[in-house]
């Protein structure tokens, strides 16, 4: 393939990378504003504290996703303005990334994953009667993944500040890939574990109560939780699979993941706020929300009710 053809292909990919992330941010924007509306005016009767807590979570994830998309757009637009029509566009685009651009985009990416993983672990803790033994593994994964992410970010920014000679660049890139694989794998493990414990706990609890509880509440709650976890986990797996491929497919996955890490928990909040996880009015004798556990214990029921926030 000629140099001119390669440059043209890279320009299209550089443009499409930004366009795809903007498309997902547009989708996310609609979901975000609907989540805000359903949080404050939805069918679920929540306390003011719960509404503020929900709003804080979905606003934080949306903000970080917007930051990631914004810096990606700024860098691409700047590169097209400065060297878009020159033969060295590809080299400039790959090798002349400002340190603040790398750091800010990576920080926003890390924050969204940290929020999503922490919320899943917190929900697991609440719905397992606040037993720390059940959340020891996801907490360890979250702490380890955060440490790995910081190490990977530091390593990457060091390369940007002090580019190594060509002979040393490849081993350093391999080290960064290894750190990134560990980071995403730990996040994925925490999510899958928390979701499995939550669903397993729900199954055990609803089998212990009357059939009307199980037949009405259980499928809706499980669907809401697994839907969010499936979106989140699938993007993790795709990103890992593309890491060893060409940089463009991986960057596509990374940019989309920056949006889906916020979309996934927001969808769960929409499900609970719109009353999807609650029993129909016909089961009037059951006043607790469908996500609650051990309704015979008032303190546990109150704590589980808080889990509806996320």
**pLDDT digits 0-9 by tens, 263-273:** 999 998 888 88
**pLDDT digits 0-9 by tens, 126-146:** 888 888 999 999 999 999 999
pLDDT of residue 70: 95
Cα–Cα distance between 77 and 58 in angstroms, integer?
A: 28
Mean pLDDT (whole number) for 7-21: 84
Q: Which tokens go with 309?
A: 């926030």
pLDDT of residue 290: 43
Per the CB < 8 A criterion, the answer to whether 286 and 301 are in contact is no
pLDDT of residue 285: 44
Per the CB < 8 A criterion, the answer to whether 231 and 195 are in contact is no
Non-local (6+) Cβ contacts of 45 within 8 A are: none
Non-local (6+) Cβ contacts of 5 within 8 A are: none
Mean pLDDT (whole number) for 178-205: 88
Per the CB < 8 A criterion, the answer to whether 108 and 258 are in contact is yes
- From residue 16, alpha-carbon distances to 12, 75, 215, 216 in Å are 6, 13, 46, 45
pLDDT of residue 183: 93
Cα–Cα distance between 252 and 249 in angstroms, integer?
A: 5
pLDDT of residue 168: 53
Instruction: Provide the percentage of residues in the chain whose pLDDT is more than 90.
Output: 35
| Higher-pLDDT residue of 59, 97 | 59
**pLDDT digits 0-9 by tens, 273-286:** 887 666 555 544 44
């Amino acid at each position: 393939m000629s140099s001119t053809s390669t440059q043209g292909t890279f320009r299209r990919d550089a443009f499409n990378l930004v366009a795809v992330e903007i498309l997902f941010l547009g989708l996310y924007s609609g979901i975000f504003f609907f989540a805000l509306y359903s949080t404050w005016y939805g069918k679920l009767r929540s306390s003011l504290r719960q509404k503020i807590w929900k709003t804080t979570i979905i606003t934080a994830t949306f903000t970080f996703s917007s930051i990631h998309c914004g810096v990606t757009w700024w860098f691409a637009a700047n590169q097209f303005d400065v060297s878009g029509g020159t033969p060295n566009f590809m080299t400039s685009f790959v090798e002349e990334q400002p340190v603040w651009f790398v750091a800010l985009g990576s920080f926003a990416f890390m924050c969204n994953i940290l929020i999503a993983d922490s919320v899943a672990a917190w929900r697991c803790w609440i719905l397992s009667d606040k037993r720390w033994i059940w959340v020891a593994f996801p907490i360890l994964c979250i702490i380890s993944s955060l440490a790995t992410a910081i190490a990977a970010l530091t390593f990457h920014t060091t390369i940007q500040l002090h580019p190594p000679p060509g002979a040393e660049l490849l081993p350093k890139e391999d080290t960064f890939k290894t750190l990134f694989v560990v980071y995403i794998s730990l996040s994925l493990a925490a999510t899958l574990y928390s979701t499995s414990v939550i669903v397993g706990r729900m199954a055990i609890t609803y089998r212990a109560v009357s059939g009307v509880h199980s037949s009405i509440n259980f499928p809706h709650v499980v669907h809401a939780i697994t839907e969010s976890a499936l979106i989140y986990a699938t993007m993790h797996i795709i990103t890992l699979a593309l890491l060893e491929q060409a940089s463009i497919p991986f960057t596509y996955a990374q940019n989309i993941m920056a949006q889906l890490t916020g979309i996934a928990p927001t969808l769960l909040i929409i499900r609970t706020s719109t009353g999807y996880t609650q029993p129909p009015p016909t089961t009037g004798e059951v006043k607790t929300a469908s996500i609650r556990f051990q309704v015979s214990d008032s303190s546990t029921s109150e704590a589980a009710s808080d889990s509806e926030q996320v």
